[in-house]
Amino acid sequence: MDVRNRLQQLGWALPWLLFQVFPIAHLLTAPGPTGVRIAAGAALVVFTAAYLTVLGKAFAPGCSPSYRGLAVVAVLGVGLGLWLGTPFAGLMIYLSAAVAVTLPERWIWPAVVGATAVCAGVLTAGGMLGELFFLPLLCLLTAFALRGTRYLIGVNSELTQAREELARSAVAEERMRFARDLHDLLGHSLSLIALKSELAGRLAERDPARARQEMADVEAAARRALAEVRDAVSGYRQVSLAQALAEARSALSAAGITLRAQAPSEPLPAAVDAVLGWVVREATTNVLRHSGARSMTVDLAVTDDGAALTVTDDGRGGDAPRGTGLAGLAERVEAVGGRLEAGPAPGRGFRLLAVVPAHVPADPAVVR
Protein backbone atom coordinates (compact mmCIF):
# COMPACT_ATOMS: atom_id res chain seq x y z
CA MET A 1 0.00 0.00 0.00
CA ASP A 2 1.50 3.37 -0.95
CA VAL A 3 1.98 6.33 1.35
CA ARG A 4 -0.84 8.31 -0.25
CA ASN A 5 -3.45 5.63 0.46
CA ARG A 6 -2.16 5.22 4.01
CA LEU A 7 -2.50 8.95 4.66
CA GLN A 8 -6.01 8.95 3.21
CA GLN A 9 -7.01 6.18 5.60
CA LEU A 10 -5.50 7.97 8.58
CA GLY A 11 -7.05 11.27 7.52
CA TRP A 12 -10.13 10.41 9.59
CA ALA A 13 -7.98 10.11 12.70
CA LEU A 14 -5.25 12.73 12.43
CA PRO A 15 -7.37 15.91 13.01
CA TRP A 16 -8.48 14.61 16.40
CA LEU A 17 -4.87 14.48 17.65
CA LEU A 18 -5.30 18.18 18.46
CA PHE A 19 -6.78 17.16 21.82
CA GLN A 20 -3.42 15.69 22.84
CA VAL A 21 -2.09 19.21 23.32
CA PHE A 22 -3.42 19.17 26.89
CA PRO A 23 -1.82 15.92 28.12
CA ILE A 24 1.45 16.73 26.34
CA ALA A 25 1.55 20.21 27.86
CA HIS A 26 0.85 18.69 31.29
CA LEU A 27 3.73 16.22 30.94
CA LEU A 28 6.13 18.98 29.86
CA THR A 29 5.20 21.72 32.34
CA ALA A 30 3.54 20.22 35.43
CA PRO A 31 5.78 19.37 38.39
CA GLY A 32 6.18 15.71 39.24
CA PRO A 33 8.64 12.82 39.34
CA THR A 34 10.60 12.26 36.12
CA GLY A 35 9.81 8.56 36.16
CA VAL A 36 6.08 9.28 36.21
CA ARG A 37 6.41 11.65 33.26
CA ILE A 38 8.41 9.13 31.23
CA ALA A 39 5.94 6.34 32.01
CA ALA A 40 2.94 8.53 31.16
CA GLY A 41 4.60 9.77 27.95
CA ALA A 42 5.35 6.20 26.82
CA ALA A 43 1.77 5.16 27.59
CA LEU A 44 0.48 8.14 25.60
CA VAL A 45 2.63 7.16 22.60
CA VAL A 46 1.32 3.59 22.71
CA PHE A 47 -2.23 4.90 23.12
CA THR A 48 -1.86 7.13 20.04
CA ALA A 49 -0.35 4.35 17.93
CA ALA A 50 -3.19 2.00 18.89
CA TYR A 51 -5.78 4.68 18.11
CA LEU A 52 -4.30 5.34 14.66
CA THR A 53 -4.21 1.59 13.99
CA VAL A 54 -7.88 1.22 14.92
CA LEU A 55 -9.00 4.13 12.74
CA GLY A 56 -6.72 3.13 9.86
CA LYS A 57 -8.08 -0.41 9.71
CA ALA A 58 -11.66 0.74 10.19
CA PHE A 59 -11.56 2.77 6.96
CA ALA A 60 -9.25 0.52 4.94
CA PRO A 61 -11.07 -1.65 2.36
CA GLY A 62 -10.95 -5.32 3.19
CA CYS A 63 -9.38 -4.93 6.65
CA SER A 64 -10.88 -6.51 9.76
CA PRO A 65 -11.57 -4.30 12.80
CA SER A 66 -8.68 -4.09 15.25
CA TYR A 67 -10.23 -5.28 18.52
CA ARG A 68 -6.81 -5.58 20.14
CA GLY A 69 -6.06 -2.00 19.27
CA LEU A 70 -9.41 -0.96 20.72
CA ALA A 71 -8.62 -2.81 23.93
CA VAL A 72 -5.29 -0.97 24.21
CA VAL A 73 -7.02 2.38 23.60
CA ALA A 74 -9.64 1.59 26.26
CA VAL A 75 -7.21 0.38 28.94
CA LEU A 76 -4.62 3.13 28.48
CA GLY A 77 -7.19 5.89 27.98
CA VAL A 78 -9.18 5.07 31.10
CA GLY A 79 -6.02 4.31 33.08
CA LEU A 80 -4.29 7.59 32.21
CA GLY A 81 -7.45 9.56 32.88
CA LEU A 82 -7.99 8.04 36.32
CA TRP A 83 -4.28 8.21 37.17
CA LEU A 84 -3.33 11.72 36.02
CA GLY A 85 -6.69 13.47 36.12
CA THR A 86 -8.17 16.36 34.16
CA PRO A 87 -5.46 16.90 31.47
CA PHE A 88 -6.05 13.34 30.28
CA ALA A 89 -9.86 13.39 30.35
CA GLY A 90 -9.92 14.26 26.64
CA LEU A 91 -8.54 10.81 25.83
CA MET A 92 -12.10 9.55 26.22
CA ILE A 93 -12.92 11.35 22.97
CA TYR A 94 -10.45 9.05 21.21
CA LEU A 95 -11.99 6.05 22.91
CA SER A 96 -15.47 7.09 21.73
CA ALA A 97 -14.17 7.45 18.17
CA ALA A 98 -12.46 4.05 18.25
CA VAL A 99 -15.57 2.40 19.68
CA ALA A 100 -17.85 3.96 17.03
CA VAL A 101 -15.82 2.55 14.12
CA THR A 102 -15.01 -0.88 15.59
CA LEU A 103 -17.73 -2.42 17.75
CA PRO A 104 -20.98 -3.97 16.49
CA GLU A 105 -23.99 -1.66 16.54
CA ARG A 106 -25.53 -3.03 19.73
CA TRP A 107 -22.36 -2.37 21.76
CA ILE A 108 -21.43 1.07 20.46
CA TRP A 109 -23.66 3.31 22.54
CA PRO A 110 -23.24 1.52 25.88
CA ALA A 111 -19.47 1.80 25.41
CA VAL A 112 -19.71 5.46 24.34
CA VAL A 113 -21.89 6.32 27.32
CA GLY A 114 -19.34 4.59 29.54
CA ALA A 115 -16.48 6.63 28.05
CA THR A 116 -18.52 9.81 28.48
CA ALA A 117 -19.19 8.94 32.12
CA VAL A 118 -15.47 8.36 32.77
CA CYS A 119 -14.65 11.72 31.16
CA ALA A 120 -17.27 13.51 33.27
CA GLY A 121 -16.12 11.69 36.42
CA VAL A 122 -12.47 12.67 35.90
CA LEU A 123 -13.45 16.31 35.33
CA THR A 124 -15.73 16.31 38.39
CA ALA A 125 -12.96 14.87 40.56
CA GLY A 126 -10.66 17.66 39.37
CA GLY A 127 -13.29 20.34 39.88
CA MET A 128 -13.25 21.25 36.17
CA LEU A 129 -16.56 19.90 34.91
CA GLY A 130 -18.15 23.36 34.77
CA GLU A 131 -15.30 24.82 32.72
CA LEU A 132 -14.67 21.80 30.48
CA PHE A 133 -18.24 20.54 30.14
CA PHE A 134 -17.77 20.34 26.36
CA LEU A 135 -15.40 17.36 26.65
CA PRO A 136 -18.10 14.82 27.66
CA LEU A 137 -20.35 16.35 25.00
CA LEU A 138 -17.61 15.85 22.41
CA CYS A 139 -17.43 12.17 23.35
CA LEU A 140 -21.04 11.76 22.24
CA LEU A 141 -20.77 14.01 19.17
CA THR A 142 -17.60 12.29 17.98
CA ALA A 143 -19.27 8.90 18.25
CA PHE A 144 -22.29 10.16 16.28
CA ALA A 145 -20.06 11.62 13.55
CA LEU A 146 -17.84 8.58 13.09
CA ARG A 147 -20.74 6.14 13.34
CA GLY A 148 -22.40 8.04 10.49
CA THR A 149 -19.16 8.06 8.51
CA ARG A 150 -18.76 4.33 9.06
CA TYR A 151 -22.31 3.76 7.80
CA LEU A 152 -21.79 5.91 4.69
CA ILE A 153 -18.54 4.15 3.83
CA GLY A 154 -20.24 0.78 4.25
CA VAL A 155 -23.11 1.81 1.97
CA ASN A 156 -20.66 3.16 -0.60
CA SER A 157 -18.73 -0.11 -0.52
CA GLU A 158 -21.93 -2.08 -1.09
CA LEU A 159 -22.89 0.20 -3.99
CA THR A 160 -19.44 -0.24 -5.52
CA GLN A 161 -19.73 -4.01 -5.26
CA ALA A 162 -23.22 -3.90 -6.76
CA ARG A 163 -21.97 -1.74 -9.64
CA GLU A 164 -19.11 -4.14 -10.31
CA GLU A 165 -21.52 -7.08 -10.27
CA LEU A 166 -23.82 -5.28 -12.70
CA ALA A 167 -20.87 -4.57 -14.95
CA ARG A 168 -19.85 -8.23 -14.90
CA SER A 169 -23.43 -9.25 -15.65
CA ALA A 170 -23.59 -6.77 -18.52
CA VAL A 171 -20.36 -8.17 -19.98
CA ALA A 172 -21.65 -11.73 -19.68
CA GLU A 173 -24.96 -10.76 -21.29
CA GLU A 174 -23.17 -8.99 -24.13
CA ARG A 175 -21.02 -12.05 -24.74
CA MET A 176 -24.14 -14.21 -24.87
CA ARG A 177 -25.76 -11.77 -27.30
CA PHE A 178 -22.70 -11.76 -29.52
CA ALA A 179 -22.53 -15.55 -29.44
CA ARG A 180 -26.20 -15.75 -30.43
CA ASP A 181 -25.65 -13.26 -33.25
CA LEU A 182 -22.72 -15.24 -34.62
CA HIS A 183 -24.69 -18.48 -34.35
CA ASP A 184 -27.62 -16.96 -36.22
CA LEU A 185 -25.38 -15.43 -38.87
CA LEU A 186 -23.16 -18.43 -39.49
CA GLY A 187 -25.56 -21.31 -38.84
CA HIS A 188 -27.59 -20.86 -42.01
CA SER A 189 -24.63 -19.87 -44.20
CA LEU A 190 -22.41 -22.78 -43.11
CA SER A 191 -25.25 -25.27 -43.49
CA LEU A 192 -25.91 -23.98 -47.02
CA ILE A 193 -22.20 -24.17 -47.86
CA ALA A 194 -21.98 -27.75 -46.56
CA LEU A 195 -25.02 -28.89 -48.56
CA LYS A 196 -23.94 -27.15 -51.75
CA SER A 197 -20.39 -28.53 -51.44
CA GLU A 198 -21.72 -32.07 -50.96
CA LEU A 199 -23.99 -31.70 -53.96
CA ALA A 200 -21.17 -30.32 -56.12
CA GLY A 201 -19.02 -33.30 -55.15
CA ARG A 202 -21.68 -35.71 -56.31
CA LEU A 203 -22.22 -33.79 -59.58
CA ALA A 204 -18.54 -33.32 -60.39
CA GLU A 205 -18.38 -36.33 -62.73
CA ARG A 206 -22.00 -36.56 -63.94
CA ASP A 207 -22.72 -32.86 -64.56
CA PRO A 208 -19.60 -30.66 -64.37
CA ALA A 209 -21.52 -27.55 -65.44
CA ARG A 210 -24.03 -27.99 -62.64
CA ALA A 211 -21.20 -28.70 -60.20
CA ARG A 212 -19.45 -25.46 -61.20
CA GLN A 213 -22.70 -23.58 -60.62
CA GLU A 214 -23.07 -25.12 -57.16
CA MET A 215 -19.49 -24.16 -56.27
CA ALA A 216 -20.18 -20.63 -57.47
CA ASP A 217 -23.13 -20.58 -55.04
CA VAL A 218 -20.81 -21.84 -52.30
CA GLU A 219 -18.37 -18.98 -53.01
CA ALA A 220 -21.17 -16.42 -52.94
CA ALA A 221 -22.53 -17.81 -49.66
CA ALA A 222 -19.06 -17.73 -48.11
CA ARG A 223 -18.56 -14.10 -49.14
CA ARG A 224 -21.95 -13.13 -47.71
CA ALA A 225 -21.13 -14.89 -44.45
CA LEU A 226 -17.76 -13.12 -44.25
CA ALA A 227 -19.39 -9.73 -44.82
CA GLU A 228 -22.04 -10.43 -42.18
CA VAL A 229 -19.39 -11.44 -39.63
CA ARG A 230 -17.39 -8.28 -40.36
CA ASP A 231 -20.50 -6.16 -39.87
CA ALA A 232 -21.29 -7.94 -36.60
CA VAL A 233 -17.75 -7.50 -35.26
CA SER A 234 -17.71 -3.86 -36.31
CA GLY A 235 -20.94 -3.17 -34.44
CA TYR A 236 -19.67 -5.09 -31.44
CA ARG A 237 -16.42 -3.13 -31.18
CA GLN A 238 -17.82 0.29 -32.02
CA VAL A 239 -18.36 2.65 -29.09
CA SER A 240 -20.49 5.79 -29.09
CA LEU A 241 -19.49 9.07 -27.45
CA ALA A 242 -22.31 8.85 -24.88
CA GLN A 243 -21.35 5.26 -24.02
CA ALA A 244 -17.67 6.20 -23.72
CA LEU A 245 -18.54 9.10 -21.39
CA ALA A 246 -20.68 6.83 -19.21
CA GLU A 247 -17.89 4.25 -19.01
CA ALA A 248 -15.34 6.99 -18.28
CA ARG A 249 -17.47 8.44 -15.48
CA SER A 250 -17.78 5.04 -13.83
CA ALA A 251 -14.09 4.17 -14.16
CA LEU A 252 -12.82 7.59 -13.06
CA SER A 253 -15.23 7.75 -10.13
CA ALA A 254 -13.94 4.40 -8.86
CA ALA A 255 -10.40 5.82 -9.01
CA GLY A 256 -11.37 9.00 -7.15
CA ILE A 257 -11.09 11.20 -10.26
CA THR A 258 -13.78 13.77 -11.10
CA LEU A 259 -15.17 13.89 -14.64
CA ARG A 260 -16.66 17.12 -15.95
CA ALA A 261 -18.52 16.43 -19.18
CA GLN A 262 -21.89 16.75 -20.86
CA ALA A 263 -23.42 14.40 -23.40
CA PRO A 264 -23.98 15.87 -26.89
CA SER A 265 -27.15 17.95 -27.03
CA GLU A 266 -27.86 16.77 -30.58
CA PRO A 267 -27.21 13.40 -32.21
CA LEU A 268 -23.90 13.23 -34.07
CA PRO A 269 -23.36 11.40 -37.36
CA ALA A 270 -22.67 7.74 -36.60
CA ALA A 271 -19.09 7.77 -37.86
CA VAL A 272 -18.23 11.03 -36.02
CA ASP A 273 -19.83 9.69 -32.85
CA ALA A 274 -17.77 6.50 -33.08
CA VAL A 275 -14.44 8.27 -33.62
CA LEU A 276 -15.02 10.69 -30.72
CA GLY A 277 -16.04 7.76 -28.53
CA TRP A 278 -12.64 6.18 -29.14
CA VAL A 279 -10.94 9.49 -28.27
CA VAL A 280 -12.70 9.64 -24.89
CA ARG A 281 -11.93 5.98 -24.21
CA GLU A 282 -8.21 6.36 -24.97
CA ALA A 283 -7.98 9.60 -22.97
CA THR A 284 -9.65 7.91 -19.99
CA THR A 285 -7.22 5.00 -20.18
CA ASN A 286 -4.24 7.36 -20.15
CA VAL A 287 -5.61 9.35 -17.20
CA LEU A 288 -6.18 6.19 -15.18
CA ARG A 289 -2.81 4.65 -15.98
CA HIS A 290 -0.22 7.34 -15.51
CA SER A 291 -1.54 10.90 -15.26
CA GLY A 292 -1.88 11.20 -11.48
CA ALA A 293 -4.79 13.54 -12.18
CA ARG A 294 -7.63 14.40 -9.81
CA SER A 295 -10.06 15.62 -12.48
CA MET A 296 -10.71 15.29 -16.20
CA THR A 297 -12.76 17.65 -18.39
CA VAL A 298 -14.37 16.84 -21.74
CA ASP A 299 -15.54 19.72 -23.92
CA LEU A 300 -17.38 19.20 -27.23
CA ALA A 301 -17.93 21.91 -29.83
CA VAL A 302 -20.13 21.02 -32.82
CA THR A 303 -20.42 23.17 -35.94
CA ASP A 304 -21.68 22.67 -39.48
CA ASP A 305 -18.13 21.80 -40.55
CA GLY A 306 -17.53 19.13 -37.94
CA ALA A 307 -16.84 18.54 -34.24
CA ALA A 308 -13.94 19.37 -31.93
CA LEU A 309 -13.48 17.31 -28.76
CA THR A 310 -11.05 18.54 -26.10
CA VAL A 311 -10.02 16.36 -23.16
CA THR A 312 -7.89 17.93 -20.41
CA ASP A 313 -6.70 16.73 -17.02
CA ASP A 314 -4.80 18.25 -14.12
CA GLY A 315 -2.15 15.54 -13.89
CA ARG A 316 1.55 15.45 -14.68
CA GLY A 317 1.10 16.82 -18.17
CA GLY A 318 4.11 16.53 -20.44
CA ASP A 319 5.83 14.17 -18.00
CA ALA A 320 3.25 11.45 -18.67
CA PRO A 321 4.73 8.50 -20.61
CA ARG A 322 3.68 8.13 -24.25
CA GLY A 323 2.63 4.73 -25.50
CA THR A 324 1.27 3.34 -28.72
CA GLY A 325 -2.30 4.25 -27.74
CA LEU A 326 -2.02 7.88 -28.85
CA ALA A 327 -0.28 6.89 -32.08
CA GLY A 328 -3.06 4.43 -32.89
CA LEU A 329 -5.68 7.02 -31.98
CA ALA A 330 -4.03 9.59 -34.26
CA GLU A 331 -4.16 7.09 -37.13
CA ARG A 332 -7.84 6.43 -36.41
CA VAL A 333 -8.68 10.16 -36.44
CA GLU A 334 -6.57 10.90 -39.52
CA ALA A 335 -8.24 8.01 -41.35
CA VAL A 336 -11.51 9.98 -41.30
CA GLY A 337 -9.89 13.22 -42.41
CA GLY A 338 -9.47 14.69 -38.95
CA ARG A 339 -6.48 15.64 -36.83
CA LEU A 340 -5.31 14.87 -33.30
CA GLU A 341 -3.25 17.16 -31.08
CA ALA A 342 -1.73 15.99 -27.80
CA GLY A 343 0.51 17.83 -25.37
CA PRO A 344 0.77 19.69 -22.05
CA ALA A 345 -2.26 21.75 -21.11
CA PRO A 346 -1.86 25.44 -20.25
CA GLY A 347 -0.74 25.70 -16.66
CA ARG A 348 -0.78 22.06 -15.65
CA GLY A 349 -1.96 18.73 -16.95
CA PHE A 350 -2.41 17.14 -20.37
CA ARG A 351 -4.58 18.18 -23.32
CA LEU A 352 -5.96 16.03 -26.11
CA LEU A 353 -7.78 17.67 -29.03
CA ALA A 354 -9.55 15.75 -31.79
CA VAL A 355 -11.08 17.63 -34.73
CA VAL A 356 -13.29 15.53 -37.00
CA PRO A 357 -15.05 16.77 -40.17
CA ALA A 358 -18.81 16.54 -40.41
CA HIS A 359 -18.78 14.17 -43.39
CA VAL A 360 -16.94 11.00 -42.36
CA PRO A 361 -17.03 7.84 -44.46
CA ALA A 362 -19.22 5.26 -42.74
CA ASP A 363 -16.80 2.45 -43.57
CA PRO A 364 -16.70 0.08 -40.56
CA ALA A 365 -13.02 -0.51 -41.14
CA VAL A 366 -12.42 3.19 -40.45
CA VAL A 367 -14.25 3.58 -37.15
CA ARG A 368 -13.64 0.24 -35.50
Q: Could you give the domains of the chain?
A: 3-159 (no CATH), 167-237 (1.20.5.1930), 241-367 (3.30.565.10)
Low-confidence ranges of the chain (pLDDT < 70): 1-16, 61-62, 184-185, 188, 231-239, 254, 317-324, 360-368
| pLDDT the model gives residue 8 | 56
All residues at 6 or more sequence positions from 126 whose CB lies less than 8 Å from its CB, including other chains: 85, 86, 89
| pLDDT the model gives residue 299 | 92
Contact criterion met (CB below 8 Å) for 306 and 279 = no
| pLDDT the model gives residue 1 | 44
| pLDDT the model gives residue 10 | 57
**pTM (predicted TM-score):** 0.47
Residue 116: count other Cβ atoms within 10 Å of its Cβ: 21
Contact criterion met (CB below 8 Å) for 350 and 291 = yes
The string of pLDDT tens digits covering residues 103-122 is 888 898 899 999 899 989 98
Closest to 37 measured CA to CA, from 5, 73, 72, 84: 84
Contact criterion met (CB below 8 Å) for 291 and 315 = yes
| pLDDT the model gives residue 225 | 78
Residue 35: count other Cβ atoms within 10 Å of its Cβ: 8
